[in-house]
Structures are given as C-alpha cells and as structure tokens.
Structure 1
Amino acid sequence: MKLTRHMILIMLLLACGGFSYAQQSNLIVSKDELVLLIDLRSSKPNLFNVLTRAGIAGTNNSSVLQGDFRSIINQGWKLKEKQKYVVQFNKPVTVNTEKIPSKPYLITVDLIKTEGRPGYPSPVPYGVNKFSKLTVMELPSGLTRFFLPGNQKARKVQLSGDFNTWTTTKGLMLKTDSGWINDVKLKPGIHAYKFIINGHWIHDTNNMLSEHDGHEGLNSIYYRYNYTFKLPGYSSAKFVSVTGNFNNWNVNEIPLAKRGSIWQTDLYLQDGMQLYRFNVDGKWVADPANQTKIKDDKGNINSVINLGELATFKLNGYEGAKKVCVAGSFNHWKPDNLYLKKVNDTWVSPLI
C-alpha cells in the first residue's frame, strides 16, 4: 500500500464498522480508500495532527473548523457526507488487497498530557516509546541519536527540544545519505522535541507520542529508558506483561517480548519505590530474581525496586516489638506494608 510519507500507520481495529467519534477528528484506512472524519467541535491541535498525517498541508485550521474545506478538496479529497458536526472526506489509495484486512482501521497517535508548561513536560511515573519507524535510538556511547529521514534538498535542519532549551541557533543536524542526524546527551525521563527544516518547525511524524505545543501544533515525546524488566522461563506462554503502582496496575498496558529464553521490556521508571509483578497468561507471578517483596492489603505478593538516591529509616529501641512498619506518602500511608528489620538495637529499612 502506498501512502504519503507524512502518514503514520499505527492501526487499531475498530470495534464496529461505523464511523462515529465524539468531538475528535480521525483518519481511517478502509480497503481501497482513506476516510477523513472532521468533527467541527474538535480542538485545533487534534485537527492539525490528523491533517498532518493525511498529508494535507497549507490549511487554516480555524477556517476548516468554521466550514471552509477548499484547502482539503483542492488536495484530492472528495466531500462524501456532512452531518450535524462531522464531515466525511474520502480519497482513493493504491492497496495490496492480499496484505490489508477487509475491516476498517483507525490511524491515530497518543497525546501525552502532563502538568508541565508547553515544551517542558513534567515528570511522569513511567514511559514507553512508540514509533511507526524508529527515528530516535540509544547508541553504545551513551548518546541518543535523533534521525530525520529524507529531506535531502533541505539547506539547514536543526534539532530543538527541552534538552537544549528549544534553541533556534544551535542543534544543527548532520546530513547523511538517508537523512539528518544529531547525537545528544539525555538524562533518563520524558523529553519533548521538534525538527526545524529551513526555519519551519515540524514534529516527528514517525513518533506516535506527542503533546500540544501550546500553539496549534505538536511536540514529539521521547522517553530515555533507565530500567529493564526480565522474566526467565515460561517458554510456552502466549502473553506476558508487567504491571505495578507506576501504571495503576493496568495488566495489558506493558507487554513483554520474548528474546531467547527471557521475556523482557525496556522502559523509563521514575525514581522512587516501585511495586510490581508479572502476569503470565492471566496468572500473577512475582519476580523470581528479586528477593525484595511485600504483601499488599489484598494478599498479593509484589516485588519491590528502589530507584534513585537511597534513604534509610531507623528507629531505636522497642526491643520487645515483634514487627515494626514504616508508612508515609511514598506508600500511601499503608500499615503492614513496609517492614523494618532489627539490626542490633535498631529497626532499619532502606527506602527511597
């Protein structure tokens, strides 16, 4: 299937065949045509995001939301149907019918929302990258390489983001035979970035994670990883995931991939005490390689990892006590959750 290179094809199977989406514009590929649904109540950033992935350039988002569709029609899209708020446009594409399923698929991206100001996302509990084509990668040197494919006729390309205070004078990218590259030193965590091509700002269209840039566009989001979850064995398992307090125990959100005899996944985890356990085909499994475990109030055995600078809690005396626990905001003030060990005359527990 040949589609415009500005389009990202991450396809999520629709639960039904109908095209109905509340207050959000969408782009769908269905058999031999693209279907563009514009909800006139959608936000300008959402509309900008969808039009970019449809390869539609030079539109005035405000005019489109007010009903002026000339810039879309002039680029080969046919107005198919208009209801109260939703307008449908169709455009034929060349399709290999042997490789594409018959049901419609949604082409979409994930918008990240943090409490930080635009361009400087605030810390998040965890993060997993999502690319249609890998354009950001970690090098053995410890540097992070950003890659902008194509654009061979560009005179000047720059990389700008929160890591270089959104510079417009530095961040020059090096031209290669396949695109442009720039290697930077990143700290673990969430980072926002864009490319500047001949003075024009664009987000990374191969990166499926983005945030609103505070104007009418998007910033791309990249997570610099700092942790790897591993689970050996379970060679016959069909689905293995990891879940914890960092993702509200969502069992389907972070799947592990099988690499040889080990199930594993890389991700970013925020500093602090993290509780977690694996799920293997619906069954809970504590990490056999991690001896630090605690039982929650539901009786589940959770593995514990501590990331960041260690702080040791100590309590002197209480020689006759059978058990001593520590509670605080770090464990939501839960009693019988974190136990201290008796060392001589002192109860001790290393925590974050």
Structure 2
Amino acid sequence: MKKTKYNLLNKRMYMTAGTLKKIPLLSIILLFSFSPYQKELKTEYYYNLQYLKESSSPRQMTMIDIDNLGRNKPTLNNGTLFTYKNREVMKAAIAGNFSSWQPRAMKRSKFGVWYYFLPGENNDRTISYKFIINGIWTPDPMNQIRENDGSGSYVSLADPVTPFMSKQLTYRALGKNTIEFRIYKPGARFISIVGDFNNWNPENDLLTQHKDGVWRLTKRIPRGTYRYKFIVDGEWVPDLYNIKSASDDNGDICSILTIE
C-alpha cells in the first residue's frame, strides 16, 4: 500500500475541501477541537446486528457479546463497526491493515446489510480497509475519507478506537475480604449494588459519586463466590468490564465475584 505524509486530519480537510470553503474558519476550528471520542461509546448487543436496516460510515461503539458468558472471555469490547448494504450481494468480506490485507468474512443482517465488528481499543493507528464484494475490491461507499492506494484506486480510512474513550473499570481487591466496587457513570443520579452478599436488597449498599465520574463503594465480604449487579437510576445492569459472568434466576446477565 502506498504511504502518504498526510495525517488523517489532513486527509479529511483534503477530501472535503469543496464543503469546507463554505464554512467559516471558526466553525472549522470548533469542528476539530471537540472530538466525539472523548465521550462514552454507544453500547450495543452483538446479536442486535442481525436486525441492521441501513449501512453507514464506520461507527465506534462498545459491543456486548453474551455468547462469551461462562467462557472466561470479555463480554464487552470497544471497536469499530463496518457496514455495507446491497441486497443483491451474495458474498462480502473486509480486508485492511488490521488483517495484513487478508479478507475476513462479513455477516449479513435480515435486511441485507453486511457487517463486521473489529475490536481494537488498543490500536493507535489509522485503520485502512476495503470491502470485497462478490470478489471485487472496493472502497467503502459510505465513507468519503480515503487515500490513493497507488494502484489507481482508493482505500477507505477510519479512526482507531483509543483507550481514553471510556473508563473501563470493574471491582478491585483492597485487602483481605475488602472489595471496592467501581462504575463510570458521570450522568447517573443514583447507583446501588445488589447481589448474593446483601440478599439483592437495593437499599443496602449505595455507591458514592466522585468528581472523575466514577461511583465507588468499599465493602467487606466473606470468602465465597457471589453474583451481583448494579442498579443505575432504576435499571439493573451487570458489571460490563468484569469478564466473569453468568445468568441470574431470570436468565439475565449478572457478574461474578470470587473472594478466596
């Protein structure tokens, strides 16, 4: 692949020059000064992708994969979702610098949208990629950020997912039988924790919000294995950054804590 001295910001400015001429300079400065990646990523369940109706430019999000329950694998990953829509396509794949340009198969939704989710929170380089549609290599038609590939065509470009996009916190041990529960929810108003250790009582253990947007609770718990969940403004949610999880009595996801 042909390299270029321009960074991704310069490519954006180059590819959209016709549009930027109509925008005041101050607006352009503001556009690139406030990055949306400083906010918490949108969270989605992986199985919901089968219901995608429309394609879009690459979207960065946090994906929950419940198939990893009980496999000691992360149920949650930050990454980038790539999509391509064409009901007449029989086979679609994606290749890029993340795969050494080896094609990776894409899946098809019930509405004709092909999709591929690329985990990559620790990848700090720009993603270069192309779709392979019915055997033909093509840039992403929904993404106008491109560069010349040196062969008379273009490769599409996407920003990497960086670790600072969200605070990936879970509980931590502070000492013998002492656990600090943590969850990053700067916009929440009320958070408590429920589990086998407090008879699932939402009023027993309340977390305290700190200036960094992290809610915390320090609690002494006897040795054993416990299921637990957070209650965030009335909604029961698992500890998504705890890779140990199982199902509760209702079949919903809950997190697992083991104190030895």
Q: When the two structures are superposed, what TM-score results if normalisation uses the length of structure 1?
A: 0.32
Q: When the two structures are superposed, what TM-score results if normalisation uses the length of structure 2?
A: 0.41
- From the two aligned structures, give the one with the greater helix fraction: 2
Q: Higher RCO, 1 or 2 (CA under 8 Å, sep at least 6)?
A: 2
